[in-house]
C-alpha cells in the first residue's frame, strides 16, 4: 500500500509544536497542570509521531540512539546528584535548597523547576528508547 504524502507533511509540520508543548508542560509544571513526567511523555509522543510517519532511519539521523541513551543516563545521574546536593547544602536527601521566589513566576518554588526539567528529559528519552526498540524490525 503506497503511503500518501499526508502523513509526511502533517508529521513534519505538527511534531515541532508537540515538542514545544511538551517543553511548556515541563517548565510550567509548578504553575499549571503538568510536570516532569507528563511533559516528558508528550515530548516522546512527538518523536514517536515522527517515527511512525517518517521511518526509523530518518528519525535516527535526527535523534541518534547513543545520544538518546546518554540523555537518559545523564538524567538519572543528574537526579541523584540533586539529591546528594540536598544532603550537602540543605538538610537531608532531596531537600529544597534553591530560593523560593514569588509564586506565579516561572523561577519559583525552589528546585522543583530543575527537577522537572531533569525528569522531563529522562522520561522523554526513556520512552523514545522503548519505542525505538519496539519498532525495530528484526531480520
Partner 1 sequence: MPEGGIVLFIVVPLAGSFFTLLEKIWPDRRITKPSVLLVFLSCLLILLIYAKPIFQGEEYRIILGNWGGPIGIAQAMDGFAWVGLFLVYAVTFLALIYAFSDKTYDSSFYFFSLILTSGMAGVILAADLFNLFVCLEIVGISAYILIAYAKKERSILASFKYLLLSSLGISIFLLGIFGIYRNTGSLLFSGVAGYFASPTGSARETALILAALIAGLGVRTAFIPFHTWLPEAHSQAPHPVSALLSGVVIKVTFIAVWRLSVISGSLEVRNFLLCSGTITALVGVFWALMQKEIKVLLAWHSVSQMGYIIAGFGAGTLLSVSGSLFHILNHALFKSLLFLSLGLVIILTNEDSLKKIGGLGRKYPLLALFFTFGALSIAGFPPFNGFVSKKLIMVGLKEHPAAYWTLWITSVGTLASFTKLSALFWKKLKKQPLSQSTPLRKGDLQKNSEEEVFQISSMKKAGLNKTAAFFPLVVLSILCLITGLFGRPIFEMLHFLIFRQSPSGIFNPWTMENLWETFLVTSLGVFSYFLVTSRGGEVFQSRIRSLRLSLDWTLVFLLAGFISLGLTVFLSKLP
Partner 2 sequence: MLRIYLILILFLLGVFGIILCRNLIKKVIALNIINSALIILFIYLGSLSGDEAPILLDQTGIIVDPVPQALMLTAIVVGICVTALALSLVYKLYKAYGTLDIQEIEKKARENA
Q: Where on the chain is the footprint of partner 2 (CB under 8 A)?
A: 30-33, 35, 37, 41, 103-104, 127, 130, 133-134
Q: What is the nearest approach in angstroms of partner 1 to the Cβ of residue 101? A: 19
Q: Which of 57, 52, 80, 70 is nearest to 125 (CA)?
A: 70
137 binds, among partner 1, partner 2, none (CB under 5 to 8 A by kind): none
101 to 26, 59, 63, 90, 93: CA distances (angstroms): 18, 40, 36, 17, 22
Q: Measure the CA–CA gap between 97 and 91, rounded to whole angstroms.
A: 9
Q: Is 92 in the site for partner 1 (CB under 8 A)?
A: yes
Residues in region 94-123 near partner 1 by CB under 8 A: 94-96
83 binds, among partner 2, partner 1, none (CB under 5 to 8 A by kind): partner 1
Contacts 24+ apart (CB under 8 A), 55-58: 56/132, 56/135, 56/136
Compare residues 9 and 67 and give the one whose CB is closer to partner 1.
67
Cβ contact 30:100 at 8 Å: no
80 binds, among partner 2, partner 1, none (CB under 5 to 8 A by kind): partner 1
Residue 44 C-alpha cell reads as 516522546
Q: What is the nearest approach in angstroms of partner 1 to the Cβ of residue 8? A: 33
List residues near partner 1 by CB under 8 A: 66, 69-70, 73, 76-77, 80, 83-84, 87, 91-96
Amino acid at each position: 500500500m503506497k503511503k500518501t504524502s499526508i502523513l509526511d507533511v502533517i508529521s513534519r509540520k505538527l511534531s515541532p509544536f508537540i515538542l514545544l508543548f511538551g517543553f511548556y508542560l515541563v517548565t510550567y509544571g509548578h504553575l499549571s497542570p503538568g510536570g516532569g513526567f507528563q511533559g516528558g511523555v508528550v515530548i516522546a509522543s512527538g518523536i514517536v509521531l515522527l517515527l511512525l510517519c517518517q521511518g526509523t532511519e530518518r528519525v535516527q539521523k535526527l535523534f541518534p540512539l547513543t545520544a538518546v541513551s546518554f540523555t537518559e543516563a545523564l538524567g538519572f545521574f543528574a537526579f541523584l546528584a540533586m539529591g546528594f546536593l540536598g544532603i550537602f547544602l540543605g538538610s537531608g536527601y532531596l531537600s529544597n535548597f534553591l530560593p523560593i521566589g514569588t509564586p506565579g513566576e516561572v523561577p519559583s518554588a525552589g528546585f522543583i523547576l530543575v527537577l522537572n526539567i531533569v525528569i522531563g528529559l529522562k522520561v522523554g528519552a526513556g520512552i523514545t528508547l522503548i519505542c525505538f526498540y519496539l519498532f525495530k524490525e528484526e531480520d
